[in-house]
Structure 1
Amino acid sequence: MENLPDRQHPHAHLRASDTDRDRVVDVLRDALMSGRLTQDEHAERLEQTLQARTLGELEPITQDLVIPAQATPAAAPSNSPVPIEEPANPSDSFDTMFAIFGGGERKGRWRVKRRTNAVAIFGGHDLDMTDAVFEGREVTIYAFAIFGGIDLTVPDSVEVRNQGVGIFGGFGARGGDSPDPNAPVVIVKGLALFGGVGGQVSSKRHKKRFKNHGGHGQLDH
């Protein structure tokens, strides 16, 4: 196996949980997609992750992929029209939510992680980011709607980049018409299979909603 540099972990003796291993898997996946790891390196480190039993065994796997919090330069004052608060450890900025034969909702002053996995199977999610705090200037929503629906609401200053696919369904996330360059960017990826992923722009001046009816998008004014 690849030898990675050692670094003492303050809790190296503690047993690793499935959540701890999932965090490392997410970091490795992002590193592979960005070209920082080759396919062989990713496969080797993924095997190490699945075999790890303690936090001390997990940490070296990603220590050359994650910038330590103390090494991160102080952030410049933000001119963003919506609040952005960078997390101390970017690798911990992820969230996962499920709606199976039911529904889920996020609204008010909640924190939008750098990565959010939203899965709706015969159910639905309503993610309202109007008053949310963003944990990065770029956040990614992985939306998977299977016989279900996921609705996103963003401030009109936020840019939304739609990179999802609809198969017998609708995938049409939308952002503001004239986004602020200092505001966060929301990247929406995933799949709508016999379901829909839609976006809504919220402001004091106007409101546009992209709804999914039976898996087919419809823009309402």
Structure 2
Amino acid sequence: MRAADTDRIQVAQLLTDAAANGKIGLTEFENRLARAYAAQTYDELDRLSADLPGAVTRGRGGTCRPAPSSTLLAILSGYERRGRWNVPNRLTTFALWGGGVIDLRYADFTAHDVEIRCYTIMGGQTILVPPEVNVDLRGIAVMGSFDQNIEGEGSPGAPCVRISGFALWGSVAVKRKKRKSTA
């Protein structure tokens, strides 16, 4: 049977748990994660997660509720979203004379398509994405910069992050960055 996006997301979360608990190494995690996002059938997903705790409880075609939409503000200050967190399907950020960092490398995607809207006025924002995630950039800048391309390609079937917005005398930088080895 064909697997759905929700099944791939559940296996990705199971793999993230295993990597966080030291059950699998970083290289193995990244390899399995890329194959999980490319998997077309339940059998392919089962082979990737059969040796992990919690694999038996994974449902078939179950609903995966996206985390609620949220907003991050930095007004004369900063924000930071790093480590393990649930990525909502819609995230809005605003920096006025401030800055922020959104690190998606260790985050759990709760939706296949994620929309991030970034607005910067005289500040800066940085978004870090892992190698397998697909990115679509569509921002504009006036007397500042809004990245219009990102090095590397994501993996087929991996989540897609659509980044849009506006920068006035500020910047929005998007970087593809590998996860750090914990060993």
Q: Conserved in 2, the CA contact under 8 Å of 1:93 and 1:135?
A: no
Q: Which amino acid aligns with 1:151?
A: T
Q: Give the TM-score normalised by structure 2.
A: 0.63
Partner Cα distance (1:99, 1:185) in 2: 25
How do 1:55-134 residues align onto structure 2 when only pairs under 5 Å count?
Answer: 77-78=7-8, 81=33, 87-88=64-65, 90=66, 93-134=68-109
Partner Cα distance (1:86, 1:119) in 2: 31
Partner Cα distance (1:86, 1:93) in 2: 15
Distance 1:76 1:188, change over 3 A: closer
User: RCO greater where, 1 or 2, for CA within 8 Å and sep 6 or more?
Assistant: 2
Q: Conserved in 1, the CA contact under 8 Å of 2:88 and 2:111?
A: yes
Q: Conserved in 2, the CA contact under 8 Å of 1:156 and 1:175?
A: no
Q: Give the TM-score normalised by structure 1.
A: 0.53
Structure 2: gaps of 5 or more residues: 13-32, 38-61
Provide the alpha-carbon RMSD of the alignment: 2.7
- Output one character per residue of 1:126-145: Cα deviation in whole Å (capped at 9) or x when no partner: 00010001121110000001
- Output one character per residue of 1:11-34: Cα deviation in whole Å (capped at 9) or x when no partner: xxxxxxxxxxxxxxxxxxxxxxxx
SS of residue in 2 equivalent to 1:130: coil
- Output one character per residue of 1:90-134: Cα deviation in whole Å (capped at 9) or x when no partner: 5x6301110000111001101111000100000001000100011
Displaced runs of 4 or more, over 6 A: 82-86
Q: Conserved in 2, the CA contact under 8 Å of 1:162 and 1:189?
A: yes
Partner Cα distance (1:95, 1:201) in 2: 23
